[in-house]
Amino acid sequence: MGSLSDISWGILGVGNVCEVKSAPAMQIIPHSRIEAVMRRDAAKAEDYAKRHGINKWYLDADQLINDPKVNAIYIATPPKYHLELTVKAATAGKLVYVEKPMARTFAECEQMIVACEENDVPLFVAYYRRALPHFLRIKELLDQGEIGSVRTVHINLKQSLSMDLLAHTDSNWRVIPEISGGGYFFDLASHQLDLLDFFFGPIQKASGYATNQAGRYEAEDMVVGSFAFENGILGSGNWCFTTATGSETDETQIIGSKGEIHFATFGKGEFQIKREGKDWERESYELPAHIQEPLIASIISELRGKGKCYSTGISGSRANWVMDEITKSKN
């Protein structure tokens, strides 16, 4: 696919993520607009379109994909449908932007990559943290050697069971493996693992253990893992989604030979850095109102031949590979 002058989006699955995080950005970035949206519930599809100033809505994915005025497909459905819809979009010659995790398994990701390559269309994944200002700053500090040579990385994510989840476990697709690929580990750790890939490059080895300890839903609720990057950095992770409220934690530690950096993956636009011989320092950055806007802007820039997006099907698939490796052992 050659360069495009303007990008006309068709969105499949206009649910919660499209209210603020992603789709509105497509309406305000220059050379980008939403042509049509699709949802299987007619009333909700029409309501979304009218509230967001979109003139066209569909109930059928094929109709939207084959709309001649649409040249870009944003797949905002649960992961179960990512492979099928990506193949259909690629076959129709439409570029693809797909929500994370990229698919339920690495094998599905590979099929998506092949479909897009065979039809010469780009494939991007919504790992938008790669484009947020505080994470770009962390990468800059790492590349400049501000904490020396990175030795190890530790992810610690703990969340409690919400009352809403307990009341709707049968309808919460994030904890239904057939739809999501796994539980909250697949939903949230995918962001963390992709971000580390952005900082340090690919992970080449990974292993771990996953279990359903609390038994409140079908998917795993606790995961521990270890991994090794191609560049020699070692890492570990501990994820639990059934802790006490007072035990909730979101912290990633990057330990170097001359300091360390700590940050929350899902928090504010800030982090802490400690350089050797100095006190802790905090850096804070304002996050965009539409959190995916910087990444989507980079996609628009690449499609117009003006820049580069660093969240592709190739990079996005690597997070799935690591998650598959870590969760191989389940009880």
Query: What global pTM score does this model have?
Result: 0.96
CATH 3.40.50.720 domain range(s) in the chain:
7-127+292-309
Q: What is the pLDDT of residues 174-224, one digit of tens each?
A: 999 999 999 999 999 999 999 999 999 999 999 999 999 999 999 999 999
At residue 111, the pLDDT reads 98
Strand partners, 274: 260, 280
Q: What is the pLDDT of residues 282-305, one digit of tens each?
A: 999 999 999 999 999 999 999 999
Question: In the predicted model, is pLDDT for residue 152 greater than 70?
Answer: yes
CATH 3.30.360.10 domain range(s) in the chain:
133-287
Cβ neighbour number for residue 103 with a 10 Å cutoff: 25
DSSP character for 119?
T
Tell me how far apart the alpha carbons of residues 65 and 71 are, in angstroms, rounded to a whole number.
9
CATH class of the structural domain 133-287: alpha beta
How many CA atoms lie less than 13 Å away from 205 in the CB half-sphere?
8
Structure tokens at 286: 């304002």
At residue 170, the pLDDT reads 76
At residue 269, the pLDDT reads 98
Q: What is the pLDDT of residues 242-270, one digit of tens each?
A: 999 999 999 999 999 999 999 999 999 99
Please tell us whether the domain made up of 7-127+292-309 is placed in CATH 3.40.640.10: no
Structure tokens at 244: 């006490």
Q: What is the pLDDT of residues 69-119, one digit of tens each?
A: 999 999 999 999 999 999 999 999 999 999 999 999 999 999 999 999 999
Tell me how far apart the alpha carbons of residues 227 and 117 are, in angstroms, rounded to a whole number.
29
CB 9 within 8 A of CB 35: yes
